[in-house]
Structure 1
Amino acid sequence: MTIVDDGRPADSMRLRVTELARLREEAHGGPGPQATAAQKAKGKLTVRERVGLLFDEGSFTEIEPLRRHRAAGFGMEAKKPYTDGVVTGWGTVDGRTVFVYAHDFRVFGGALGEAHAAKIHKVMDLAEAAGAPIVGLCDGAGARIQEGVTALAGYGGIFQRNVRNSGVIPQISVILGPCAGGAAYSPALTDFVFMVRGTAQMFITGPDVVKAVTGEVISHDALGGADAHAAVSGVASLAYDDEEECLADLRHLLSLLPSNNRELPPHLPSADPPGRLTERLNDLVPADPNRSYDMHAVIEEIVDDGDCFEIQPLWATNIICALARMDGHVVGIVANQPAALAGVLDIHASEKAARFVALCDAFNIPLVTLVDVPGFLPGVDQEHGGIIRHGAKLLYAYCNATVPRVQVILRKAYGGAYIVMDSRSIGADVSLAWPTNEIAVMGAEGAANVIFRREIAAAEDPEAVRAQKVKEYRSELMHPYYAAERGLVDDVIDPAETRHRIIGALAMLRAKHVPLPSRKHGNQPQ
C-alpha cells in the first residue's frame, strides 16, 4: 500500500468520499419505498418532488441533510433517520434566490423535534441575512410528542422569526398535508397561505376534540380544509386542486414580489403600450349607479395584457385585492366589487383589504384603488361584530402607507366608505374620477329623505316632492364635477384614459419619499 507523507493510505480520501456519497443518497432517498408508496397513495408528492417543482432545475442547494435527532427514550434511539423529517436549503426561482423548508411526512409524520426545528431556524436566519423570500412547504403532524417541551420551544423559535421578518422578507406558507395545533400559527404569521384541496388541513383542535367538547360532528376537510379556509375563515390566500398547479402559482407570485423590503418588485418589459386607450370601459360600466357589473373586467382592461394575480378571491368577494403589472411595474389593486353585495365594505372586506394594503406598503408596491362603494354594510351583526374597529383597520392601513397611491372613482363613493377607500383626505397622491362619479355623504334618495322629510310629509303628493328633491340634491351636490371644483379630485377623466393616466401618475411618483415621525410602532386597531 502506498503511504503519503502523513502516514494515511493514499486512497483513504476516496473511501471517505464514497462513504459520504452513500450517506447523502440515504438522506435523499428517505425512509424507503414503502413510506413513499403510502405518501403517493394519499395523492401527495414527495418532499424532493415538491422542491424540484418550486426551484429552477438544478439550482437547489440543501443544508444539513445529515442532521439527526439526539432524543432518547420512547423508542427514539433506534430511529435516527437523516434530515430528521425536514429538507432545508435554497435555490433560484426565475434566477432569484429563494429559501425553503419542506416537511417530509414519511419521516416521523413530519413532526417537529429539536433537530428538526434547529434546521428551520437556521434556514430562516439565512433568508433574513441574505434578504430573500422564504417558503415553508408544510406537511407535518405537529410537535413531536416523544421530545416533549423541546419540540414546543422549537415552534416558539419559528414564531419569533416569523414576526421578526414580517415586512422584511416575503414569507409564504404552502399547506400540503396536516398542519394542526401550534403548527398552524406559523402560516398565520406569514404573508400568504396556499392550500391544496383534499390533502391540506389546518386547525387548532381537530374534529375529535371538537366533538368531545361541543358535540359537533364535522370532517377534517369541512373543519380545516382548503375551501373552508379559502372561502369561510379567510386564513388561506388561495386553494388549488393539485400540488403542481399550486407550486406553479407560487413561482408566479414570487415573480411579483421583491426579495426584501429594501428593493422594488422586479420590472419586466411589457409589450402592452402604456398609452393604450381603454375604450371598452365606456361600455363595461353602466352609468346608473344602481346597476351591477363585474369589476374584474375593469381591472383586466387597465393592467398589462389583462393579467392579474388575485389574493383571497373566494373570501370577502365584495372587495378585490390583486397584484398586476402596469407598464411592466408591479402594482397592488384594491377595488370594490359591485357584483357582490353591491360592493359595500363589511367586516371581512375591511380586514382583507387592510392586510393587503399593509403588505403592498411593506414591500414597496404602489397602490391603485378603484372605487365604487355605496357605504358600509348596515346591520346588528356588523355593529356587534365590530365593524367600527375592523373598518378602522383599513383606514389605518391606508393612512400608514407611504408607497405611491392613486385613486380612481368610477361611480358612487358614499359616506365614510369614500374616505376609507384611499381618498385625498387620507393621503392619496393622485385622485381621478370618471364622469359618472357621485361623491356624497349618502345617496341622493337617502339625503333627500333626511333633509326634506317634513316638506315631503306635508306635501299633497309626497312622491312627486321626494322625486323633485332627489333631483335637486343630485344636481347641486352630487354632480360629477362637484369634488373636482373643490380640489378633492385632481381631474375628471374619460374612462378610455384610465390606464394611461394611472401609469403616468405612478411614473411621476416612482421616487416618492415620505418622512415619518420617530416611533417604535403604531398601535393599530384590533
Structure 2
Amino acid sequence: MPRRWPKSASGASSDRVPPPPRQSTTSASGSPDGRIPISPPEQPAAEDVSGRTGRLAELSRELETLRRRLRLGGGTDRIQRQRDRGKLAARDRLHLLLDGDATWVEVGLLVAHDRYEGKAPGAGVVTGVGVVCGREVVVVANDATVKAGSWWPETIRKMLRAQEIAMRCRIPIIYLVDSAGVNLPYQGGVFPGQYGAARIFYYNSIMRRYLRIPQFAAVMGPCIAGGAYLPALSDVILMVEGTSFMGLGGPNLVKGATGQVVEREELGGAAVHAGISGVAHYRCADDEECIARLRDLVAGLPREHDPRRSHEGAFPPPARP
C-alpha cells in the first residue's frame, strides 16, 4: 500500500507517492554533471618543434634549388649557344615581353622534372599568366634549350592547361614558338586520346571562331610539321627573319621526296610567308623587334569588354543641384 499523506487543509487526503530521494550528480570522474572532463592536448616537446621546423626549412631550400635549376632549362651552355645564334632564350623573351613591375604566375614548372632521366625540365615549355602593357595575358613559350623545344607528352598537357586558362578567364594568349615538333620516340603519348596534341588545334579554333579570344603567335625559330598548325590557326602571326621557319617539312624532307635542293628561308622563311603565302602578318628583323611589336599589338586591344571594368564609367556622374 502506498503511504498516505496527511489530510490537506480541505480535509481530502492525497494518494501521491513521495518522490525518491535526490542522488548526488557528482560522477566518479569528479564532474558535477556526469560528463568526463577533457584534458588539454599534450604539447610537443620543444626539441620536436624545432626538429619539424628545421625539416620544413630544409625542404623549402631543396624546392627553391630545384626551381632555380629548372628555370635554366637545358643549362647555361645551351642558353649561350642560343644567344650566339642571334636568338633569345625562352625566359629572356618573357623578360622583354612582360611588364617588369607586374606579377608572373608560372604554371607547371615542376612538370616532368623527375622523368626521362631528367632530360625534360619543365617539359620543354614555359607557361604562365603575366601582364603585358597593363593587360593580363597567358604566355606559352617553347624552350629550345630542351631537346630543341620538341613536344613531350607532358608538353601537350601544359599547353592545353594554358589554353584552358585563357578560355576560362577570357584573356589573350601569346605563343612564342621555337620548336622542332613532336619528340618522335615519345609520339605514342603525344597524339592518342581525347587530350592529345590535336586538342591544341581544336582549342585554337574554338578561341578564334566562337570565344573571340585574341591569339598571337611569334615564330622565333623552327615550327615544323604539326606544330605549324598552332601559329597558322592564330589571329596574328609574326616571324623573325633568318631564324624562323614554318612548314610541314624541312629541306631534307623535300630533297628526299623530290630530289630538289632548297634552302630553309626560301622554303618557309619569314620572307616567303609574309610576302608570298600571306600566312604571316609581320616580318621582324630580330627577337627584340618581334617582342616590341607583340607589346604594341596587345596594347592596342580594346578594353571596353573587360568584365572587371564593365561598370566603370557606365553611368554619368550625378548632376549637382
- Which TM-score bucket, shorter chain as reference? 0.7 to 0.9
Q: What letter matches 2:95 in structure 1?
A: G
Aligned residues: 258
Give the whole-Å Cα distance in 2 for the aligned partners of 1:90 and 1:80. Answer: 25
Matched position secondary structure for 2:279: coil
Letter in 1 for 2:148: G
2: CA distance, partners of 1:3 / 1:233: 72
Tell me how far 1:119 sits from its aligned partner. Answer: 0.6
Identity over the aligned pairs, expressed in percent?
Answer: 35
What is the aligned counterpart of 1:86 among 113, 125, 131?
A: 125
Per-residue deviation, residues 379-418 of structure 1 (Å, max 9, x unmatched): xxxxxxxxxxxxxxxxxxxxxxxxxxxxxxxxxxxxxxxx
Give the TM-score taking structure 2 as reference length: 0.75
Q: Does residue 177 in structure 1 map to residue 228 in structure 2?
A: no
Aligned pair in 2 of structure 1 residues 115, 70: CA closer, same or farther (>3 Å)?
farther
1:160 corresponds in structure 2 to 202
SS of residue in 2 equivalent to 1:179:
strand
- Distance, in Å, in 2 between the alignment partners of 1:98 and 1:39 is 26
Residue 46 of structure 1: aligned partner: 89
Q: Which amino acid aligns with 1:214?
A: T
Query: What whole-Å deviation, never above 9, does each CA across 1:198-254 have from its counterpart, x for those lacking one?
Result: 100001111122222233221011101111100011010101001111101111011
Q: Aligned in 2, Cα 1:228/1:137: closer, same or farther, shift over 3 Å?
A: same
Checking the alignment, whether the CA contact within 8 Å between 1:131 and 1:169 is kept in structure 2 is yes
**Alignment-derived partner of residue 311 in structure 1:** none
Secondary structure in 2 matching 1:20: helix
Residue pair 2:119, 2:146 contacting (<8 A) in 1 also: no
Please list every run of 5 or more consecutive structure 1 residues that lacks an aligned counterpart in the other structure.
72-76, 267-526
Runs of 4+ in 1 over 6 A off after TM superposition: none
What SS does structure 1 have at the residue aligned with 2:129?
Answer: strand
Task: Tell me if structure 2 keeps the 8 A contact 1:180–1:203.
Answer: yes
Instruction: Output the CA distance in 1 between the equivalents of 2:174 and 2:276.
Output: 24
Q: What is residue 483 of structure 1 aligned with on the other side?
A: none
Who is 2:9 aligned against? none
Q: 2:58 aligns with which of 2, 5, 15?
A: 15
Tell me which structure has the larger Cα radius of gyration.
2
Output the amino acid matched with 1:147. Answer: Y
Cα deviation digits, residues 281-308 of structure 1 (max 9, x gap): xxxxxxxxxxxxxxxxxxxxxxxxxxxx
Q: Distance in 2 between matches of 1:28 and 1:83?
A: 8
Query: Aligned letter for 1:116?
Result: T
1:251 to 295, 300, 305: 295
Q: Measured at CA, do residues 216 and 152 of structure 1 come closer, stay the same or move farther in structure 2, by a change above 3 Å? A: same
* Rounded Cα–Cα distance in structure 2 between residues aligned with 1:175 and 1:263: 28
How far off is 1:148 after superposition?
1.9
Q: How does 1:116-195 map to 2 (within 5 A)?
A: 116-153=155-192, 154-167=196-209, 168-195=212-239
Which amino acid is the alignment partner of residue 210 of structure 1?
V
Change (3 A) 1:58 1:114: farther
Structure 2 letter corresponding to 1:19: E
Q: For residue 264 of structure 2, what is the aligned residue in structure 1?
A: 220
Tell me which residue corresponds to 2:108: 64
- Distance (Å, rounded) in 2 between the aligned partners of 1:86 and 1:36: 14
Is residue 3–residue 10 contact of structure 1 (8 Å, CA) maintained in 2? no
What TM-score do you get using the length of structure 1 for normalisation?
0.47
Q: Please name the residue that 2:280 is paired with.
A: 236
Task: Give the deviation of 1:178 after TM superposition.
Answer: 0.3
CA distance in 1, matches of 2:275, 2:262: 17
Mapped partners of 1:90, 1:66: distance in 2 = 16
Q: List alignment gaps of at least 5 residues for structure 2.
A: 1-44, 310-321
- The letter of the residue matching 2:174 is V
Residues 131 and 259, structure 1, Cα contact 8 Å, conserved in 2: no
> RCO (CA 8 Å, sep 6+): is it higher in 1 or 2?
2
Deviation at 1:70, TM superposition (A): 7.4
Supply the distance in 1 between the matched residues of 2:204 and 2:46 (Cα, whole angstroms).
Answer: 55
Q: Distance in 1 between matches of 2:260 and 2:113?
A: 39
Q: Which deviations, in whole Å up to 9, do the C-alpha atoms of 1:344-375 show, x marking residues without a partner?
A: xxxxxxxxxxxxxxxxxxxxxxxxxxxxxxxx
